[in-house]
């Protein structure tokens, strides 16, 4: 049996009513505090659990997921946590999308209902195992009461409660009605790691069959009776406005029904996407480009350069880096830059909306379900309980669907219509109206003693703060914890270190991108530590290991990656190996990349070896897959990824100039797992953030050319 995603998202009221009061089913939350139907009724007021378990009278177990599935395996790994403690087979679990509800389904690490930051397993590991254990305990108690024996004489296995002494067995379904009437146990016993039956073992992805046979439904697949299709053109320049539009030619296109105009947007509503695109192309649109009409990338970079000369907010200050730098035997300084990046998810932005006087329905795939609901409520003026969001699978998120701008836009368009409308961004519109990974301009300096060891380290970051906009309370004292992640606490022993941050917001919108701040900070730190090794005439791996005596987990992954990659073995001319090390998202990762640099400067990443300590691993297959996917994503960004502006407009538009790794360009990727009993780490993003510095360090090994700016400049390497 495969996981089934309910076609209609359960409303909170509907979900809470399914329990002992509705046919004898058992509803169990992370901690519900009372008995039977009252437990369900009081769940929202008493607790903020992450997910719920529903067991029907026929024994069917349904897990309602507060987290979303966007290819990372959440809809397999999270049910594994519950199945482990509940003692059921993973393949028998159904998965249902949760409704919007920060109270019931909030991510405890991030404070509201959100899937991102590689937090799902870290957030769910304890609460969802506990949810399974509570359900198991209640079922065992119910069976023990029925048999007039002590609960300690019974145990659960494979969806049944067993009394070993008598050989009696009862399936969970037969016990749900009586179990629902029992008071919630004050304490439950979670399995020790040594007793895990599922956690830590490879498990087939439960969502794969439906994705192969076509049953899986993404946001772009939403179908609603009476629905029309719309596509749109928004101001090509940030801050621009619509001046005028001639609709006459568009309205003559067969299938075009309506033109909707907003202050900075025109949408064509039609019977199908083909007609909508033809109608859009037929529009004569005149834009007022506004104050950024001449904006270019060079202007933004220059403003960052100037800002970076000013002192920033102090992030970390240990020892006296300035004095140590002044007294150092050798001093090194460098400037590093990383570009704006587009998300380039396979599923372009889309949102289906039906606005009525008394309510609003939204069909969408989003990483922030409750924020999507709030955005629709704000546009319509409706109370939250009149807005219903039907969540779907995501055809890639990468941080882009942590934003609700596309949902706001779709609801604005739908307000002008008396029927449902699916608003679909073309690939070009998606690319040129993205919210981009921030550009950063970093200044780093270090001092070395006579033996080449670092005695001083300074790092100034200049760029935008996404959290300053996205979660303002987290921006304090001039910085936020996300922007500095990977820079404030490098894994190495650095006695004298000063890190500061200059907040500088560009005129184009910035947002999270897979790997978030570590994609920038790990590149800078790991590239510069490589520069220190070169200045000390030391092997890059040996140099790092010497600075990791205090950090055994980091040291172990670095040694393993180097050993598995054959570090030190000879390579042909213009081939090189490079290494990076990081601690981010609660995970230790070492990456070794092997590259070949052609005479024309083009770079081929031929092999990547990863060694990872992610604490307790739930599904090793998912960990390997996530690291492999992250590596591929990282290669695309490092070699070709950038969004550039000219005349206020993003120059890139589609996959012909937003290069991604093709199948014939993919390297051999090896992933080696370090057994660990530590708390789980995140896996969605480390593979991406560790890739770029490993590649550029490998390019240095191959050519002697140090690259401090991404993407890789092939022209500069042609002469190297």
DSSP 305-370: HHHTTS--EEEEEES-HHHHHHH-SEEEEEEEEE--B----SS--EEEEEEETTEEEEEE--S-HH
Helix, strand, coil tally for the chain in percent (to 5): 35, 25, 40
| Percent of the chain residues past pLDDT 90, beyond the cut | 88
Instruction: For residue 705, count other CB atoms closer than 10 A to its CB.
Output: 15
pLDDT in tens, 543-552: 999 999 999 9
Nearest alpha-carbon partner for 116 in 408, 393, 398:
398
Output the CA–CA distances (angstroms, integers) from residue 714 to 298, 538, 661, 719, in the order listed.
Answer: 20, 27, 16, 9
Q: Which residues, including other chains, have CB under 8 Å from residue 276's CB and lie 6 or more apart?
A: 229, 230, 231, 255, 256, 268, 269, 270, 424
Read off the pLDDT band of 121 (50, 70, 90).
very high
Q: Which two tokens stand for residue 661?
A: 């790794």
Per-residue pLDDT at 25: 56
| Percent of the chain residues past pLDDT 70, beyond the cut | 93
Mean pLDDT of 603-620: 98
Stated as kind and residue range, the H or E segment containing 442 is strand 440-448
Q: Which residues, including other chains, have CB under 8 Å from residue 514's CB and lie 6 or more apart?
A: 343, 398, 399, 630, 633, 684, 685, 688
Indicate the DSSP class of residue 20: T
Per-residue pLDDT at 696: 98
Rounded Cα distance, 248 and 36, in Å: 63
Residue 45 in this model has a pLDDT that exceeds 80: no
pLDDT in tens, 209-245: 999 999 999 999 999 999 999 999 999 999 999 999 9
Alpha helices in 148-194 (DSSP H): 176-179
Rounded to the nearest 10 degrees, how much is the dihedral formed by the CA atoms of 618, 624, 629, 632?
150
Read off the pLDDT band of 145 (50, 70, 90).
very high
Rounded Cα distance, 683 and 627, in Å: 7
pLDDT in tens, 478-487: 999 999 999 9
Nearest alpha-carbon partner for 532 in 442, 440, 460, 449:
449
Per-residue pLDDT at 182: 86
Q: Which two tokens stand for residue 475?
A: 């921006």
Which neighbouring-strand residues pair with 709? 337
Per-residue pLDDT at 719: 78
For the CA atoms of the chain, what is the radius of gyration?
27
pLDDT in tens, 325-335: 999 999 999 99
Which neighbouring-strand residues pair with 362? 353, 389
Residue 681 in this model has a pLDDT that exceeds 50: yes
What is the chain's length? 720
Burial of 149: CB neighbours in 10 Å, binned 0-12, 13-18, 19+: middle
Per-residue pLDDT at 30: 41
Rounded Cα distance, 119 and 550, in Å: 26
Q: Which two tokens stand for residue 134?
A: 């509570």
Mean pLDDT of 265-291: 98
Per-residue pLDDT at 26: 59
pTM value surpassing 0.85: yes
Per-residue pLDDT at 180: 85
Per-residue pLDDT at 489: 97
589 near 610, Cβ under 8 Å? yes
Nearest alpha-carbon partner for 6 in 371, 391, 366:
391
Pair type for strands 454-463 and 387-391? unpaired
Read off the pLDDT band of 315 (50, 70, 90).
very high
105 near 398, Cβ under 8 Å? no
Dihedrals phi, psi of 363, to nearest 5 degrees: -115, 115
455 near 315, Cβ under 8 Å? no
Q: Which residues, including other chains, have CB under 8 Å from residue 357's CB and lie 6 or more apart?
A: none
Output the CA–CA distances (angstroms, integers) from residue 7 to 4, 107, 218, 236, 373, in the order listed.
Answer: 9, 23, 11, 37, 18
Rounded Cα distance, 365 and 376, in Å: 14
Rounded Cα distance, 578 and 540, in Å: 8
Find the largest Cα–Cα distance for the chain.
84
Rounded Cα distance, 302 and 308, in Å: 10
Contacts of the segment 146-155: beta carbons below 8 A, 24+ positions apart: 146/170, 146/175, 146/178
296 near 649, Cβ under 8 Å? no
Per-residue pLDDT at 49: 24
Weakest mean pLDDT among 8-17, 171-180, 316-325, 411-420: 8-17
426 near 653, Cβ under 8 Å? no
pLDDT in tens, 643-664: 999 999 999 999 999 999 999 9
Rounded Cα distance, 474 and 484, in Å: 12
Indicate the DSSP class of residue 273: H
Burial of 11: CB neighbours in 10 Å, binned 0-12, 13-18, 19+: middle
Residue listed under structure tokens 């970051």: 461
Mean pLDDT of 494-520: 97
Residue listed under structure tokens 């393949």: 91
Rounded Cα distance, 316 and 333, in Å: 19
| Chain mean pLDDT for the chain | 92
Per-residue pLDDT at 140: 96
Q: Which two tokens stand for residue 694?
A: 């490993």
Residue 15 in this model has a pLDDT that exceeds 50: no
Q: Which residues, including other chains, have CB under 8 Å from residue 202's CB and lie 6 or more apart?
A: 619, 620, 621
Instruction: Give the count of alpha carbons within 13 A of 329, CB side only.
Output: 11
Specify the 3-state DSSP secondary structure of 421. strand
Instruction: Give the count of alpha carbons within 13 A of 315, CB side only.
Output: 27
Residue 177 in this model has a pLDDT that exceeds 90: no
Instruction: For residue 466, count other CB atoms closer than 10 A to its CB.
Output: 25
Rounded Cα distance, 367 and 113, in Å: 8
238 near 509, Cβ under 8 Å? yes
Nearest alpha-carbon partner for 113 in 63, 33, 53, 49:
49
Residue 628 in this model has a pLDDT that exceeds 60: yes
DSSP 89-110: -GGGEEEEEPPS-HHHH--TTT
pLDDT in tens, 560-597: 999 999 999 999 999 999 999 999 999 999 999 999 99
Rounded Cα distance, 611 and 591, in Å: 7
Alpha helices in 536-607 (DSSP H): 540-546, 552-565
Rounded Cα distance, 477 and 164, in Å: 61
Rounded Cα distance, 126 and 359, in Å: 37
Q: Which two tokens stand for residue 287?
A: 């834009």
Q: Which residues, including other chains, have CB under 8 Å from residue 38's CB and lie 6 or more apart?
A: none
Nearest alpha-carbon partner for 264 in 295, 294, 230, 236:
236
């Amino acid at each position: 049996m495969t996981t089934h995603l309910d076609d209609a998202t359960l409303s909170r009221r509907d979900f809470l009513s399914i329990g002992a009061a509705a046919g004898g089913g058992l509803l169990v939350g992370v901690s519900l505090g009372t008995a039977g139907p009252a437990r369900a009724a009081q769940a929202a007021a008493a607790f903020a659990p992450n997910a719920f378990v529903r067991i029907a009278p026929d024994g069917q177990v349904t897990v309602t997921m507060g987290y979303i599935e966007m290819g990372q395996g959440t809809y397999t790994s999270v049910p594994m946590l519950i199945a482990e403690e509940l003692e059921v087979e993973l393949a028998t679990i159904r998965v249902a999308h949760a409704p919007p509800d920060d109270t019931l389904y909030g991510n405890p690490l991030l404070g509201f209902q959100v899937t991102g930051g590689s937090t799902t397993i870290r957030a769910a590991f304890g609460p969802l195992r506990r949810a399974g254990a509570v359900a198991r305990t209640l079922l065992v108690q119910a069976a023990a009461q029925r048999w007039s024996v002590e609960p300690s004489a019974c145990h659960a296995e494979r969806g049944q409660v067993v009394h070993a002494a008598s050989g009696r067995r009862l399936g969970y379904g037969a016990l749900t009605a009586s179990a629902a009437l029992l008071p919630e146990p004050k304490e439950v016993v979670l399995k020790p790691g040594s007793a895990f039956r599922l956690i830590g073992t490879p498990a087939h992805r439960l969502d794969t069959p439906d994705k192969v046979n076509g049953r899986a439904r993404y946001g772009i697949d939403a179908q609603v009776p009476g629905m029309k299709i719309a596509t749109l053109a928004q101001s090509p320049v940030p801050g621009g406005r619509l001046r005028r539009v001639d609709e006459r030619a568009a309205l003559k296109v067969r299938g075009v029904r309506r033109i909707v105009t907003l202050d900075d947007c025109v949408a064509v509503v039609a019977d199908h996407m083909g007609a909508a695109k033809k109608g859009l192309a037929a529009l004569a649109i005149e834009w007022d480009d506004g104050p950024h009409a001449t904006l270019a990338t060079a202007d933004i970079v220059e403003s960052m350069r100037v800002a970076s000369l000013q002192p920033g907010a102090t992030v970390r200050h240990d020892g006296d880096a300035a004095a140590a730098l002044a007294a150092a035997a050798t001093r090194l300084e460098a400037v590093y830059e990383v570009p704006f990046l587009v998300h380039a998810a396979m599923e372009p932005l889309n949102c289906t909306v039906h606005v009525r006087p008394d309510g609003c329905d939204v069909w969408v795939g989003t990483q922030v379900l409750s924020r999507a609901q709030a955005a629709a409520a704000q546009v319509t003026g409706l109370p939250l309980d009149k807005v219903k969001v039907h969540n779907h699978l995501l055809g890639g998120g990468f941080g882009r669907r942590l934003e609700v701008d596309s949902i706001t836009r779709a609801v604005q368009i739908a307000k002008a219509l008396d029927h449902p409308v699916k608003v679909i961004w073309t690939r070009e519109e998606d690319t040129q109206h993205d919210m981009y990974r921030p550009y950063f301009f970093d200044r780093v300096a270090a001092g070395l003693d006579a033996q080449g060891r670092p005695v001083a380290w300074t790092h100034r970051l200049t760029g935008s703060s996404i959290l300053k906009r996205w979660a303002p309370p987290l921006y304090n004292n001039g910085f936020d914890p996300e922007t500095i992640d990977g820079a404030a606490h490098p894994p190495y022993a650095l006695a004298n270190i000063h890190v500061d941050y200059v907040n500088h917001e560009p005129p184009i919108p910035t947002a999270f991108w897979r790997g978030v701040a570590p994609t920038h900070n790990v590149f800078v730190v790991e590239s510069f530590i490589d520069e220190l090794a070169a200045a000390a005439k030391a092997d890059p791996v040996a140099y790092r290991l010497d600075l990791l005596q205090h950090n055994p987990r980091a040291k172990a992954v670095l040694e393993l990656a180097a050993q598995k990659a054959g570090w030190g073995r000879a390579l042909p001319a213009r081939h090189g190996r490079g290494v990076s090390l990081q601690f981010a998202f609660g995970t230790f990762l070492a990456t070794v990349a092997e590259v070949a640099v052609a005479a024309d400067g083009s770079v081929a990443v031929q092999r990547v070896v990863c060694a990872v300590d992610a604490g307790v691993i739930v599904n090793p297959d998912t960990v390997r897959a996530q690291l492999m996917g992250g590596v591929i994503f990282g290669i695309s960004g490092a070699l070709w990824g950038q969004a550039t502006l000219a005349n206020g407009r993003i120059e890139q538009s589609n996959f012909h100039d937003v290069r991604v790794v093709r199948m014939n360009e993919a390297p051999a990727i090896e992933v080696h797992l370090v057994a660990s009993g530590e708390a789980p780490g995140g896996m969605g993003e480390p593979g991406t953030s560790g890739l770029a510095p490993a590649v550029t360090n490998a390019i240095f090994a191959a050519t002697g050319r140090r690259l401090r700016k991404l993407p890789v400049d092939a022209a500069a390497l042609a002469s190297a």
